Amino acid sequence: MVKGKVIVVGAGIAGLVSALELARAGYDVQVFERQRAPGGKMRQVMAGGRPVDAGPTVFTMRWVFERIFGDAGKVFADEVRLKPLTVLARHAWSETERLDLFASVEESADAIGAFAGAAEAEGFRAFCARARDVYETLEEPFIRSPQPTPISLAFGAGLRGLGDLWRISPFTTLWSALGDHFKDPRLRQLFGRYATYCGSSPFDAPATLMLVAHVEQEGVWVIEDGMHALAKALESIATENGARFFYGAEVEEVITLGGVAAGVRLRSGDVVEAQNVIVNADSAAVGAGLFGRSVAPTVAQLRRDQRSLSAMTWTMNAQTRGFPLIRHNVFFSSNYQAEFDDIFRRSRLPREPTVYVCAQDRDDDPAEFQGGRERLLVLVNAPATGDTDRFSAAEAAECEERTFALLARLGLEVDRSTADTLLTTPSDFNALFPATGGALYGAASHGWMASFSRPGGKTRIPGLYLAGGSVHPGPGVPMAALSGWLAAAQLAVDLNSTRR
Ligand SMILES: Cc1cc2nc3c(=O)[nH]c(=O)nc-3n(C[C@H](O)[C@H](O)[C@H](O)COP(=O)(O)OP(=O)(O)OC[C@H]3O[C@@H](n4cnc5c(N)ncnc54)[C@H](O)[C@@H]3O)c2cc1C
């Protein structure tokens, strides 16, 4: 028996998970996506005639997808080809200062010992234990909870648990907490970078974000056919379960009748009725009125200075030499504070950026690479001002020069003369994800309250739900997937209780 109609706006990872869960539960699900393919930020572009991942590249928290696929009667590893990485990432500060992090804590500790001395290796072990503690303390009451508040967290923890919450340092910045473990500024920079996984500055983000380090330590996988394969697999299983996908279908309004969600109006003018609507677009678009005035007040408007990081990305098929690239590589700037000041305080492209390079034809052993041109995603952080300040061609070119000059200084030559390259700027990201200014992770996690300020899946309008990286529990592929799961669960609970 079909239980009711649900419209999902957007086929990002959260929208796909919501669609799958609800189709499986017997709802009549229609997904409207303005792009031509599923995945949202998990997009693929062509470079030199080859598909390159232009969005997320680090795949973690595999258990989230094992559960989602398992519930749908599938084995995740049968649907999506995965390969675990033994070397998580290679980091460089100069031509001679290089450090690998491994899947094994002890191997990483040995590498850190050789790189920076035995005391830093001990500091790393203590840091890993603390990051695990933070993760375990927050997993149930925060990550898996539909919409936690400081009060619900404290009540949930009980008097004994309050000590645990205090211990995980919610009021200390990540940068300062890292100083408890590392004297070497390079290591502070390396582990501070985890704040950027949530689009935040390590100088303003709370120490609790060290849980990202634990998540990575639990395992990083490569999706062999590219991250986009995950979106395609979810779309295919949702379709098998009856969900219908419409591409090139932009939703212009969420319609309400008597204060209750009633359907959507598409750009084509068509109106599609449904008792429930899940919006997977960035929640800022709802708050900014892009889905109509009647639903706008359900999401507080995000100020520009609350936005998370945007990025300048170059997807390319190019010849490289000089540096033994592995899948994930980070080339650090010499002044981390200046980089984040440029972005968050001066709203400008960093004078000297830290550069991430994802070499998509490599795993963890450079010797296995056959040579020739290779697919790269080169990324530097940028301010989310894509709706107000379109960087001039000269500014973009200057940023590109600085980026590739830093790579060359640290040993990696990229031959851009024959490369097929696509540049994506904050303005481009804003066009792809409207009302964000190009912010890729919703609101920045700055200050201890930020994580509680993200909207939850349920809105004040009956029948209207939110899902995605800008919504609780936050950004990143697995977290956004969890938000899609939570929105679907909340919708089902609400419908059942209304029926009763
Ligand atoms: C360059 C980059 C690197 C990243 N690296 C990582 C990483 O390594 N690991 C990781 O875990 N995460 C990473 N992330 C973050 C991760 O990609 C996101 O948090 C996650 O994919 C967001 O998913 P979402 O469900 O919020 O949907 P989104 O991906 O934001 O998709 C929303 C969808 O809604 C659609 N939409 C919007 N408005 C409308 C409308 N009006 N009508 C119809 N459709 C609409 C959009 O077209 C889009 O397809 C990265 C992101 C980027 C951009």
> Residue 152: is it exposed, middle or buried by C-beta count within 10 angstroms (0-12/13-18/19+)?
middle
**Which residues, 6 or more positions from 105, have their beta carbon under 8 angstroms from its beta carbon?**
124, 125, 128, 217
Q: Determine the Cα–Cα distance for residues 44 and 229; give it in Å rounded to an integer.
A: 10
Which ligand 1 atom sits nearest the alpha carbon of residue 15? 25
Indicate whether residue 433 lines ligand 1 (CB < 6 A): yes
Do 301 and 288 touch, CB atoms closer than 8 A?
Answer: yes
Burial 39-64 (b: 16+ CB within 10 A, else e): bbbbbbbebeeeebbbbbbbbbbbeb
The DSSP symbol for 174 reads H
Q: Determine the Cα–Cα distance for residues 174 and 187; give it in Å rounded to an integer.
A: 13
Predicted local confidence at residue 135, as pLDDT: 84
Closest CA to 310 of 377, 387, 384: 384
Q: Does the predicted TM-score (pTM) go above 0.85?
A: yes
Do 256 and 274 touch, CB atoms closer than 8 A?
Answer: no
DSSP codes of every residue in 417-453: EEEEEEEE-HHHHHHHSTTSTT-SSSB---STTHHHH
**Mutation probe of ligand 1 site: the residue of 18, 41, 211, 314 with most atoms within 8 A of C-beta:** 41
> Residue 465: is it exposed, middle or buried by C-beta count within 10 angstroms (0-12/13-18/19+)?
buried
Which ligand 1 atom sits nearest the alpha carbon of residue 424? 1
Indicate whether residue 330 lines ligand 1 (CB < 6 A): no
CA-nearest residue for atom 52, ligand 1, is: 55
Predicted local confidence at residue 500, as pLDDT: 47
Omega of the bond leading into 434 within 30 degrees of 0 (cis) = no
Inter-helix orientation angle 118-138/105-116, to 10°: 140
Local mean pLDDT, 10-residue blocks, the chain (500 residues): 89 98 97 98 95 96 95 97 96 97 96 98 96 82 64 54 56 92 97 95 92 90 95 98 98 97 98 98 97 96 94 97 97 97 96 97 89 96 94 94 98 91 97 97 85 86 97 92 94 80
Tell me how crowded residue 1 is: count the other CB atoms within 10 A of its CB.
3
Q: Determine the Cα–Cα distance for residues 284 and 293; give it in Å rounded to an integer.
A: 13
Inter-helix orientation angle 477-499/62-71, to 10°: 40
DSSP codes of every residue in 207-266: GGGGHHHHHHHT--EEETT-THHHHHHHHHHHHHTT-EEEES--EEEEEEETTEEEEEEE
* 56 CA from centroid of ligand 1 (Å): 9
* 14 CA from centroid of ligand 1 (Å): 9
Which ligand 1 atom sits nearest the alpha carbon of residue 54? 1
Tell me how crowded residue 317 is: count the other CB atoms within 10 A of its CB.
22
